[in-house]
Structure 1
Amino acid sequence: RSWGGSDCLTSDSRNQEYPSSDKHLVCPECKKPFAQKGDLERHYRIHTGEKPFACPICPYRATVKTSLQKHLRIHSGEKPYACPFCPLRSSDKSNLMRHIRSKHRETV
């Protein structure tokens, strides 16, 4: 599939599955509504499989820039998220939160 550009960014007042008065752009594949064109374009990559953000070090590709930035921490070793209860540091906030829930349940 290819991105249809502005032709695919249409309003659909019949959309009952995702009702919202401030979301006027509708995904042509799944009818999910969006308020911003950029949000719809990012979402549409789920359907097209497009991954425009490439890692310069390995074959990894991402649909959104933030996913690539998160991935690059694997190569750099950066671990910006610190556990407040032990010395553990993580490159990923969700992994840190999972660690806290599983290892420090009594403390939280």
Structure 2
Amino acid sequence: EETKTETGVTTDDIAIYIQGPDPADNKWMCLFEDCGKKFGRKENIKSHVQTHLNDRQYQCPSCHKCFVRQHDLKRHAKIHTGIKPYPCECGNSFARHDALTRHRQRGM
């Protein structure tokens, strides 16, 4: 079971780095220095800003790696099961489909 850790980052801390939505494209923009990425959903820009602020509240109980979003932790946790249902023709297998896809794109 994952643990949720308070990092001390507040909603006000996050809001400082969010501008929008822009009337021209209805998107929210990250104001973090040298970023400027835009998002169509406020939830997505909030998660994005949290990565800049290292506001990673969800910790893996197996390796202690931390994540901003709970669903990212759940996706990560699959690597610890040992189950690799996505095989490649080269003989390697992967716990997640996206890892197999990335492997193939790299020409492995």
When the two structures are superposed, what TM-score results if normalisation uses the length of structure 1? 0.63
CA RMSD after TM alignment:
3.0
CA shift for structure 1 position 12: 6.7
Counterpart-to-counterpart distance in 1, 2:87 and 2:68: 27
Counterpart-to-counterpart distance in 2, 1:51 and 1:63: 4
| Residue in structure 2 matched with residue 62 of structure 1 by the alignment | 67
Matched, 1:27 2:36: no
Counterpart-to-counterpart distance in 2, 1:42 and 1:11: 15
**Does the 8 Å CA contact 1:70/1:91 hold for their aligned counterparts?**
no
Could you say which structure has the larger radius of gyration?
Answer: 1
Mark the runs of 5 or more structure 2 residues left unpaired by the alignment.
1-7
Counterpart-to-counterpart distance in 2, 1:12 and 1:100: 38
> RCO greater where, 1 or 2, for CA within 8 Å and sep 6 or more?
2
Mark the runs of 5 or more structure 1 residues left unpaired by the alignment.
14-19, 104-108
Counterpart-to-counterpart distance in 1, 2:68 and 2:54: 8
Counterpart-to-counterpart distance in 1, 2:102 and 2:14: 40
Give the fraction of aligned pairs with identical amino acids, expressed as a percent: 25
Mean CA deviation greater in 2-11 or 43-52: 2-11
Counterpart-to-counterpart distance in 2, 1:58 and 1:12: 38
| Residue in structure 2 matched with residue 97 of structure 1 by the alignment | 101
CA shift for structure 1 position 99: 4.0
Q: Which amino acid aligns with 1:4?
A: D
| Residue in structure 2 matched with residue 11 of structure 1 by the alignment | 20
Q: Which amino acid aligns with 1:82?
A: P
Which is richer in strand? 2
